[in-house]
Amino acid sequence: MTKFIEEFKKFILRGNVIDLAIGVVIGAAFAKIVDALVGDIFMPIVGLLTGGFDISGQSLTLYGDAKLHWGHFLQMVVNFMIIGFCLFLVVKGMNVLQARMQKAEEAKPAPEPTPTEKLLAEIRDLLQAKGGTGA
């Protein structure tokens, strides 16, 4: 049992698991912000444009108490689209940043050889000039 606990401790303290947990918590908080944005700002504007029609509360009675809440579904689709667009912008920004960093890395000149490397190169050249094996 102790070995199992040690393995679990090693697993849970790895950087990837902690990064994932942080991402999930931030994602949940972001989803609440988007829900508020859509429900409290976008949908009232849509309602205003449609003459006071509240889309989020719309439903269709199928039979008895069974209702199809298509307005709430439409609101969730708008939420999904906003979250998807925000993630697209984040990924696009990361790709641009990565491309710039890669371009900057490629543009860097080769580092100047150290004095030791220069001395070793001179020794190699002398050995080659004398007919030694060299590199």
DSSP characters for 11-28? Answer: HHTSHHHHHHHHHHHHHH
pTM above 0.85, yes or no: no
Domains of the chain: 2-129 (1.10.1200.120)
For 48-98, how does the pLDDT look when each residue is reduced to its tens digit (9 = 90+)?
887 777 777 788 888 888 888 888 888 888 888 888 888 888 889 989 999
pLDDT band at 134 (very low <50, low <70, confident <90, very high): very low
Which of the two residues, 121 and 79, has the higher pLDDT score? 121
- Report, as an integer, the average pLDDT of 96-125: 87
pLDDT band at 133 (very low <50, low <70, confident <90, very high): low
